[in-house]
C-alpha cells in the first residue's frame, strides 16, 4: 500500500481543513488504483497565525499542528524541516493567506493545491481572499461566482485549474450571503476533488 502524506496550510477557522481531514480519515474512504491501494493521509496542519481556530480543530481531530511566521516560511529553515520530518508528499492550501515560496513550489511541483473562493481567473491575486473577493464580485455586477481548485505555481492564483463549481449572485446579494453560498460549495466539493487529484497523481 502506498501512503501519501499531506500537510494542510491554513490561516483561519479551518472548516475546510476539518472537512478534508474527516473525509480522508473516514472508514468509508479507500482508494485502489492500477498500482494498488493508496492511502491519502493528513498528518500535519501548519498555520501562520497562533490564534487560528484551525489549530484547535486539528487538535480535536488528533492531527499534529505547528505555528510559523512569515519569516519562517520565507527563510525555509523551520517550515522546510517540518515538511521533511513528516515525509510530506503533498500540500493543500485551505484558506492560507501567504504566498508559498518558489522553492516549495519547485520542490512539490504539481503537488500543491489551493482552494480559491471565486471563479478564477476572475477575482484572484494578492489581497483577494474572504470578503474582499465576495465584495469585488458583487460590485462587478457578475451574476455568478463559485470556487476554484487549482495547482499552485509561482504566481498568485495562477496555476492550472482542475475544478470549478458555480453559484448565482442575486440582486441584493451581500458579501455575507455570497460567502455562505461559497462555503456550501467548498464543503460539498473540496475534499473529493483533492482526493481524486492526489490518487491520479500518485497512480501514474
The alpha-carbon radius of gyration of the chain (Å, integer) is 17
Q: Which residues are catalytic?
A: 116
Average pLDDT over residues 29-41: 67
Average pLDDT over residues 30-49: 79
Confidence of residue 95 (pLDDT cuts 50, 70, 90): very high
Is the pLDDT assigned to residue 13 strictly greater than 90?
Answer: yes
Per-domain boundaries in the chain: 2-118+148-165+189-203
| Higher local confidence (pLDDT), 38 or 156 | 156
Give percent above pLDDT 70 in the chain: 94
Average pLDDT over residues 144-150: 98
pTM score, whole prediction: 0.94
Out of 1.10.3720.10, 3.40.190.80, 3.40.50.170, 3.40.50.970, which CATH number does the structure's domain 2-118+148-165+189-203 have? 3.40.50.170
Query: 28: burial class by Cβ within 10 Å (0-12, 13-18, 19+)?
Result: exposed
What pLDDT is attached to residue 36? Answer: 62
| Higher local confidence (pLDDT), 142 or 2 | 142
- Beta strand pairing call for 90-93 and 64-67: unpaired
What pLDDT is attached to residue 21? Answer: 96
Is the pLDDT assigned to residue 27 strictly greater than 80?
Answer: no
What pLDDT is attached to residue 32? Answer: 54
Q: What is the mean pLDDT of the chain?
A: 93
3-state secondary structure the chain: CEEEEEEEECCCCCHHHHHHHHHHHCCCCCEEECCEEEEEEEEEEEECCCCCHHHHHHHHCCCEEEECCHHHHHHCHHHHHHHHHCCCCEEEECCCCCCCCHHHHHHCCCCEEEEECCCCCCCCCCCCCHHHHHHHHHHHCCCEEEEEEEECCCCCCCCCEEEEEEEECCCCCCHHHHHHHHHHHHHHHHHHHHHHHHHHHHHC
Amino acid at each position: 500500500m502506498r501512503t501519501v502524506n499531506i500537510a494542510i496550510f491554513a490561516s483561519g477557522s479551518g472548516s475546510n481543513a476539518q472537512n478534508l481531514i474527516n473525509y480522508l480519515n473516514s472508514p468509508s474512504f479507500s482508494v485502489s488504483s492500477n498500482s494498488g491501494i493508496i492511502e491519502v493521509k493528513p498528518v500535519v496542519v501548519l498555520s501562520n497565525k497562533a490564534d487560528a481556530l484551525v489549530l484547535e480543530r486539528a487538535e480535536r481531530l488528533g492531527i499534529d499542528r505547528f505555528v510559523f511566521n512569515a519569516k519562517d516560511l520565507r527563510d525555509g529553515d523551520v517550515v522546510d524541516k517540518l515538511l521533511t520530518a513528516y515525509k510530506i508528499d503533498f500540500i493543500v492550501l485551505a484558506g492560507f493567506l501567504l504566498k508559498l515560496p518558489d522553492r516549495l513550489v519547485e520542490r512539490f511541483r504539481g503537488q500543491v493545491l489551493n482552494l480559491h473562493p471565486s471563479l478564477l481567473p476572475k477575482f484572484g491575486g494578492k489581497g483577494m481572499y474572504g470578503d474582499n473577493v465576495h465584495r469585488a464580485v458583487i460590485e462587478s455586477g457578475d451574476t455568478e461566482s463559485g470556487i476554484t481548485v487549482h495547482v499552485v505555481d509561482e504566481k498568485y492564483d495562477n496555476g492550472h485549474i482542475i475544478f470549478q463549481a458555480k453559484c448565482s449572485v442575486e440582486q441584493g446579494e451581500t458579501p455575507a450571503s455570497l460567502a455562505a453560498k461559497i462555503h456550501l460549495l467548498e464543503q460539498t466539493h473540496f475534499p473529493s476533488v483533492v482526493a481524486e487529484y492526489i490518487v491520479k497523481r500518485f497512480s501514474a
